[in-house]
Amino acid sequence: MITKWPAPAKLNLFLYITGRRPDGYHDLQTLFQLLEYGDTLTIEHNRSGDLQLLTPLPDVTEDQNLIMRAAKILRDQAKLRGTLPDKAGAIFQLEKRLPIGGGLGGGSSNAATALVALNYLWGARFTTAQLAALGLQLGSDIPFFIYGSSALAEGVGELLTPIALNEKWYLVVYPGISISTDQVFKDPLLTRNTPYRYMKDLLLNRFMNDCECVVRNIFHEVEWLISVLNPYTLPRLTGTGSCVFAEFYTESAARSILEKLPTEFQGFVARGLNISPLYHILREYRSQ
């Protein structure tokens, strides 16, 4: 059986670094917004006992690929629980639209989609919370995509409070470079002492990203992109970059700015979502 599953993008509408832990990880507060745009993961599940990815990513080995890592961790844990069908296997194909290192959560979303989809296809019977715990072993953004709703994230990103946002339209522009999250978080100039605030205060104040100054200082392509967008709108960095976004009340307003951009920049317009399209598809498959 061949099934198709969405792996949506996310935006960080704000991102504040409130501290650094002894283990090197950072405490943060961020507002995750899902988008009606992303990658598509095709899965053919079978009884071969093997896992195969037909569309490897450049410079990413199979052991590093988050789809394969997610599939393996789910298979191993389901075996331990005795909930895995005999010789459960799968073949994956990824239609990649989200740029690597763009701050849109593509790899994390791919992993989350693999976990949710295989849990259904294999009948592994993990709860959403259990899937999120497995996902957290692979990346701090993955639980957000597994729960599948816009949320305030705290801790290292795993403490989630769902929040209904106005489903605005977003222009997202990619300057053609990949940025390593690790590089940004290790930068000595990164702000790490933004005061912790409660949700009401966070939502009432202007949204900012503590990583933006560091990224703009290191990566001149991002600085240039923001300067190009500034005359038309209020651009912000998502996550640790490199993508820059701006929000609008209408699709046409967002597209009018996209049409003005130089051809050197890649961009798209997408609607914000409060609920992940992954769960709309899951409900459709369950109803068949």
List residues forming the annotated binding site for ATP: 99-109
User: What is the rounded CA–CA span in Å between residue 115 and residue 67?
Assistant: 8
Q: What does pLDDT average to over the chain? A: 96
Residue range 54-111, pLDDT digits in tens: 999 988 898 999 999 999 999 999 999 999 988 999 999 999 999 999 999 999 999 9
Which residues belong to the active site? 10, 141
| Contact (CB, 8 A) for 189 and 217 | yes
Residue-wise pLDDT for 181-190, tens only, equals: 999 999 999 9
Residue ranges at the known binding site: 99-109
Prior bond to 242 cis, omega within 30? yes
Is the pLDDT assigned to residue 283 strictly greater than 90?
A: yes
Distance in angstroms (rounded) separating the CA atoms of residues 96 and 266: 14
Listed in sequence order, the DSSP H helices in the chain are: 66-81, 106-121, 128-136, 142-147, 181-186, 199-204, 212-218, 220-229, 251-258, 277-287
pLDDT band at 266 (very low <50, low <70, confident <90, very high): very high
Q: What is the mean pLDDT of residues 203-232?
A: 97
Among 239, 214, 209, smallest CA distance to 100 is for: 239
Domain residue ranges of the chain, discontinuous segments joined by + = 1-288
Neighbours of 19 (CB within 10 A): 12
- CATH code for residues 1-288: 3.30.230.10
pLDDT reading at 23 higher than 90: no
